[in-house]
Structure 1
Amino acid sequence: MEINAAADPESVMSLPELVENVLISGDCADVSNFTQQVGGLPNQSTTKSYGFFRRPLGSTFPFESGVILTSGQAYPAGNTVVAGNPYPDFANGLPGDADLETALGQTNTNDATYVKFEFVPTSPDFNFRFLMASEEYDGSTECAFADSFAFLLKDVTSPNYTNLAVLPDGTPVSVTNINDSTGCPANIPFFEGYDLGDTNYGGRTVVLTASATVIPNRTYEIKLVVADQGDSAWDSAIFLEAGSFNIGLDLGPDLTISAGNAPCSDTPFPLSTNYPGLTHTWYQDGIEVIGETSNILNISSTGIYTVEVELAVGCTGSDEIFVEFAETPIIANALSDLMICDDDNDGFFGLDLTSLNPIIYGAQNPLEFSISYHPTQVDADNNTSALPTVYTNQVAYQQEEIFVRIENNIGTQCYSTDSFLFDVFDSA
């Protein structure tokens, strides 16, 4: 990871400048009244407690660039690989933070870096993406030292903050709350892993999203703070994705086959905003979609979609999203009902269901799609209770309906179903 690299002009920005120029996207908020607690001056790129990061070529780090806040020094967290964990400690000598302690129910925080500011939104929704990394992730110390991050929000008329940096169940983001230690495992699905190699920290969380609904034209206060807990050693950091602090429009994350969230090709997919009363301008791959001015656009082809909305005078919100459609397979040929003559006249027959597959596939590639058979339509829709390859009717001489499902192997939510009757008769 490149952190506060000399080639990046953002590396000598102050933390408020980084918030305004790197973190925030959209022009629909009046941001002011910054205060901060940081270690180092803006031009002290190798020692300050915050900075600008950029993903180098070949790295699998999930963010291309953004802002880093640390409970130590930012520069040693990347740039040169430091073997082992922890890397040499670079405590920043800052005090802890009472607001963080109140929000998380902690005591004894140290080395807190924070930025606080006011903003007046013209959009009712905002969100941002982040992840937490720490030296405490070594398989044991995460059980004892709750290094933490908080994204605190309040109306300026309120004395109390709400912490937005929480898991879906409301659990705050801290080392003790997210880890895969053998001694105190917690919320393992939200822990990406140990010693991933993209930073010098011992481990990190998965990408997390914080969001809130606010009242437009009301003044709010935001505070982003990270700190050590219990000691001043073994630093932690928050990586905030550039442009992800979205206080304008948000069409959501990209929808792709590789991410498993691509829509299916047989059904138009609606893109929408929360502004039904305003005029929208939609674009597909940079070309305006003529005649579409509502807050909903139904799409059916892969592309980059952009929307622009004038939310207020001087405030144009915009966002874009890449949508990839997964192919929905079809039942190429309808299956005929099967009337089977039973040679031994016992009323039972073992049917090789796979013998029907070529009829269902038609010209479709069997490597791309899978076929299964089920006893009910509900099972076919849910892909449950699949029948064995050779299926024997359950009751002699009683007609059964068998349901078939063909699905996309890489977009299993994209499927089609059909059914046929299976009936066994005596041969004479």
Structure 2
Amino acid sequence: MKNVKHLQCINCGKTYPAEPGVYTCPDCGPADGILDVIYDYDYIAKNYSKDYFANNKNYSIWRYEPFLPVQPDGPKPTLRVGWSPLYRTKALAEAIGLENLYMKDDGQNPTASLKDRASAIAVAKAAEEKAPIIACSSTGNAASSLAGNAASIGIKTCIFVPGRAPQGKVAQLRIFGANVISVQGSYEDAFKLSAAAIERYGWYNRNAAINPYLVEGKKTVTLEICEQMNWQVPDWIVFSVGDGCTIAGAWKGYVDLYKAGFIDRLPKVAGVQAEGCAPLTKAFHSGKKFEPTEENTIADSIAVGVPRNAEKALRAVRESKGTFINVSDEEILAAMRLLGNTSGIFGEPAGVAGLAGLKKLVANGTIGKHETVVCAVTGNGLKDVNNAIKAAGEPIKVKPDLDELFSVLEGIPGLVS
């Protein structure tokens, strides 16, 4: 990989070759020794330009191979991951008090979440290493994305999910042929069991905070945003946050573009957590390391009480001079309705937590009405229909009787003139 220099520990700064089996810094350990992929930005700048992307007809994450740690001619999953739509949502912007708001709908990826980006990289790397089995722990979306992408090229998976994982996500896993271990405990319990099994059996490790390459997949969301905005950088990018990998990747996408000379400034980053599970928000505002917390929120995909990518996430927000904010489950449900009613985008609870946080940040003056904002919807609402019904309400039920129907219709404000 001519575009990659090495891997670097974010804790001690020691570097390691980008070789199979290198996941974390052995000196710092798996908890603190998280690695970054360091690129040769001079090589990228010399060999690639905006014209390269303008003429590239591969509308998937693989259009960004110059910024990805994969073999150019190596094996890749066949699902079309990436190039999800970026909408300028004027009605939604007006509803929350902004002039320029863009929503990135990553629920339109093949398995309906942003996690497809990371899993595509994981499967590509596993295929490069000829790994027969890939494993991970997940609250749901990472699991289904791994299972789908792996199935596309015939690699087996073993996936650990907490017992509270929504049935829609578990159904995806089983349809994709995954071996699913439902751990009757927390996400942390599932993570520990997956780590032990991976070590014992030598499976390829897709766990995002352990495997340094997965952040690289997630950063393609902001590479796309930048290109879709004609290389103009927004003032803010807003993401919901669980283990921290997604927001770390979102920031790294802009940093990589900046260092390679594609853009001349960087955005601020806002991270949004659920009140019932917000270790990173607390750590950010206290200036201390995160403390493990309970996982009490309907937003299962960000219910991570022990975030494994904490330092990368906190570093992203601090370096960008951004912020963290929490939202309640009620605010998340309200955001699901607001997003759907004003834009036609259907997001799951974790997928719209970012929008709920953005609404609060505009209301408290942290984000000004004249600033340009991009907010990501990280997962589709069909992932969790029970909470969607909770947000929107049950349908109106009538008997097959015209008199009853007309009576009901005429009682709905604004429906019948």
Normalising by structure 1, what TM-score? 0.24
Q: Report the structure, 1 or 2, having the larger strand content.
A: 1
